[in-house]
Chain A
Amino acid sequence: DTEVTQTPKHLVMGMTNKKSLKCEQHMGHRAMYWYKQKAKKPPELMFVYSYEKLSINESVPSRFSPECPNSSLLNLHLHALQPEDSALYLCASSQERAAGTGSPRGELFFGEGSRLTVL
């Protein structure tokens, strides 16, 4: 199984809502990532978890709250978002993370993303 599964595929929420994005992988990878991608742009790193511990936060606003309940699951909790937060949110995993950085050793495996629209 070489898949990273993300749910939901689409999410529409108001600025006062609380919602969550979920990501799951069963490849035994120990590093998991959240990326944000705006239209016609490359992905931008948000958070990195390594061995279930948050190791990198790229100065992301606190209205985004990541959680890693176990080695296979990664959540992104959303609260009081702004319309400019509308984007494709991509989860990725890799076998491990290079020490002291947010970068993967080897390739990243991406999910299909969750398309978020904030009204």
Chain B
Amino acid sequence: AQSVTQLDSHVSVSEGTPVLLRCNYSSSYSPSLFWYVQHPNKGLQLLLKYTSAATLVKGINGFEAEFKKSETSFHLTKPSAHMSDAAEYFCVVSDPGGGFKTIFGAGTRLFVKA
């Protein structure tokens, strides 16, 4: 069975410092992995996706994520946080072994302090 775990429900950083949002997955096969961002009262926007090409994936707004099969992780990082990064972030897995069933993580709320 596939699953996705976001290890932190809340992360707080200061503006200009690095961001790390952690995601671990469970999958029988090589999954497709996504990070989405949701600002308050808005829809979800795709930040980046991994679909079995390069393991280091660059996304929008300076975010990137690295697929590590040995650690079953897909952590999201950004070198320098901006106030506008404050939002909810969802790690999502789509697993061909699970019939491409899409599983959302519980979400991580990112707070950015001035």
Chain A positions within 8 Å of B, measured between CB atoms, are 4, 6, 40-43, 45, 88, 90, 92, 98, 100-113, 115
Interface residues on B, range: 20 to 34
Determine if B100 and A43 form an interchain contact, defined as CB atoms under 8 angstroms apart. no
Could you give, for residues 85-114 of chain B, a 1 whenever the CB lies within 8 Å of some chain A CB and a 0 otherwise? 000001000101001111011110100000
Beyond A45-B102, A109-B46, A113-B41, 8 extra complex contacts between A and B, CB < 8 Å: A6-B43, A43-B44, A101-B99, A101-B100, A102-B102, A106-B51, A108-B102, A112-B43
Residues of B close to A109: CB separation below 8 A: 46
Residues of B within 8 A of A43 (CB): 44, 104
Q: Which of A40, A42, A90, A107: most chain B Cβ within 10 A? A: A42
Q: Kindly list chain B residues whose C-beta atoms are within 8 Å of the C-beta of A104.
A: 94, 100, 102
Which residues from chain B sit less than 8 Å from chain A, CB to CB?
32, 34, 36, 41-46, 49, 51, 90, 94, 96, 99-102, 104-107, 109
A to B CB contacts below 8 Å, 26 in the list: A40-B107, A40-B109, A41-B106, A42-B104, A42-B107, A43-B44, A45-B102, A98-B100, A101-B99, A102-B101, A103-B94, A103-B100, A103-B102, A104-B94, A104-B100, A106-B32, A106-B49, A107-B46, A108-B44, A108-B46, A108-B102, A110-B36, A110-B45, A112-B42, A113-B41, A115-B41
With A40-B107, A42-B106, A107-B34 as contacts: A98 and B43 at CB distance below 8 Å? no
Q: In whole angstroms, what is the CA distance A4 to B42 when docked?
A: 12
**Chain A neighbourhood of B36, CB < 8 A:** 110
Residues of B contacting A: mostly: strand
Among A42, A106, A113, which residue has its beta carbon within 8 angstroms of that of B105?
A42
Q: Contact: B107 with A98, CB < 8 Å?
A: no
User: B44 contacts which chain A residues (CB < 8 A)?
Assistant: 43, 90, 92, 108, 110
Question: With a CB–CB cut-off of 8 A, which chain A residues contact B99?
Answer: 98, 100-101, 103
The 5 closest A-B pairs by CB, nearest first: A98-B100, A42-B104, A110-B43, A103-B100, A101-B99
